[in-house]
Amino acid sequence: MTRPADIVSPGSGAPQAPRRKQRFLPNLFRTTAFKLTAIYLVIFALFAGFVLGYVAWNAKRLLDDQIRSTIDAEIQGLAEQQRLGGIRRLVNIIERRSRAPGASLYLVTTPVGERLAGNVEALQPGALDLPGESEIEYSRSSDALDSPSRAIVRVFVLPAGFRLLVGRDLEERDRLGVVIRRAAGWSLLLVFVLGCFASWFVARRVLKRIDDMTDTAQTIMAGDLKGRLAISGTGDELDRLALNLNAMLDRIGELMSGMQEVSDNIAHDLKTPLTRLRNRAEEALRTAQSPDELRGALDASIDEADNLIRVFNALLMIARLETGRINDSMAELDLSEVVSGLAELYDPLAEEAGLEIVTEVTPDLRVLGNRELIGQALANLIDNALKYGKPTGDAAPVVRVAAGVVGQQIELSVTDNGPGIPEADRGRVLERFVRLDQSRSKPGFGLGLSLAAGVVRLHGGQIRLEDNAPGLRVVMLLPEAPPKPVETAGEGALPASTAQTNPAGLQSA
């Protein structure tokens, strides 16, 4: 694939490659995937730490309990022996037990603190003064005094002031603690490393797809309008985004080709009369013998120019309609009056063409709209009907102009009994400059229907071409004006009689 950066800055291809590699890492920290993974990682590590801590604390407590109950049991047993056999017997038992492997800690002292028996060589000072349970430091042999061990001990005061100390070394428990801590450390490290790896993997995947999208977008911007974003097929958010962007690109493409078509049409349909105009002037210059001939050629040229101006005006108007920004000049208007007036305006023309205009107009139809635009649209339809609607068979030579309410809408229709338009062409004739072959011989530019369609769309209505069998029926559906609460007569609602005092016709605003 061509990289867009090459297209954007041609001739600087060499420095592009390192830049592309460089940008990955800094970008990684900025990606959403990375941020999300980091957050999950921290949460997961906290959670794991909490669980391990809880396990460790529980294990310690369990061991401590076990130690305590062992000590209690031994003390009770030894106290019993002392009660039965006196201190001597106790000393003997302790001497014996002290030598057993893995023995508990024992110490028997006189009331003044002299050691009588036991396997404890040194104690932290004052340990014997505290009856009950405590955690202390001790040594088993005199040569290990420097590195004391830890133990849980219990001191029991025997009758006559002798003291008995029984304890258990804590090395085992501490070793377990170390094991658990180490396990916790390793798990956290593992979580972190795996998490980092996963985040890098996920972020890279997402980043790569987004980078691909960016690249495609750049190629499209650089002029490859056919380019489309890749769809992975998983139907995830990125796929949906890509699908939507592709649909948007398709729509833009349609509009672009529409524009292209229009400008081609304009070029063709305006070039033809311009060429005619030019040829006529040239020929007059070359051949005209008398001022009258020159005058005639000039008159014809002016007519041709006027026609061109009309095409331009119609095109501009259609373009304006398509941008849909004339809300300023919308006002409530009496459509019935517009329709009847137009039918009357065209009546003599129809008569000349051997046709009759029949009107079926429901009175007082109110529409929110631009009177001139609706009038122009309807005039175009009537004009078309008069031009092309002459019956070929024995149908009545009638053009029917009707306006009435259908549901919530106002239906405006112009119907003729002429040859009609084949169904396949009905959508096409609404486009600009489309003229059917049968009509090529008649004057016109193929803009009338597209202008009408533009007007109807602008008013939020619909236009339909129907078969009148025989003939064509063009239907414009316009939304009915909402009923007005108060008589707020805008400029559009002024009575028509003001035309006398105001020749400029402000009331048609």
Binding residues (CB under 8 A) for other proteins: these are 299, 302, 306, 309-310, 313-314, 316-317, 320-321, 326, 328-329, 341-342, 344-346, 348-349, 352, 370, 372-373, 375-376, 379-380, 383, 386, 444, 448, 491, 496, 499-500, 503-509
* CB 375 to other proteins: min, Å: 5
Q: Smaller CB distance to other proteins: residue 145 or 302?
A: 302
Distance from C-alpha of 28 to C-alpha of 22, rounded to nearest angstrom: 11
CA angle 178/179/180 to nearest 5° reads: 90
* CB 384 to other proteins: min, Å: 9
Structure tokens at 89: 């017997």
* CB 303 to other proteins: min, Å: 10
Q: Smaller CB distance to other proteins: residue 329 or 468?
A: 329
* CB 275 to other proteins: min, Å: 19
By DSSP bridging, strand 366-369 and strand 331-334 are antiparallel
Q: Smaller CB distance to other proteins: residue 67 or 350?
A: 350
* CB 330 to other proteins: min, Å: 9
* CB 363 to other proteins: min, Å: 17
* CB 13 to other proteins: min, Å: 48
Distance from C-alpha of 449 to C-alpha of 360, rounded to nearest angstrom: 22
Q: Smaller CB distance to other proteins: residue 230 or 309?
A: 309
Q: Smaller CB distance to other proteins: residue 293 or 306?
A: 306
Calculate the CA 443 to chain-centre distance. Answer: 50
In angstroms, how far apart are the furthest CA atoms of the chain? 163
The sign of the torsion formed by the CA atoms of 27, 31, 33, 39 equals: positive
Q: Smaller CB distance to other proteins: residue 94 or 317?
A: 317
With CA atoms as reference, report the closest residue to 395 among 373, 430, 419. Answer: 419
Give me the DSSP letters along 406-422. ETTEEEEEEE--SS---
Phi, psi of 460 (to 5 degrees): 70, 25
Q: Smaller CB distance to other proteins: residue 138 or 445?
A: 445
Residue 103 CB-density burial (10 A; 0-12 exposed, 13-18 middle, 19+ buried) = middle
Structure tokens at 251: 């729509």
Q: Smaller CB distance to other proteins: residue 120 or 399?
A: 399
The sign of the torsion formed by the CA atoms of 485, 487, 490, 495 equals: positive
* CB 372 to other proteins: min, Å: 5
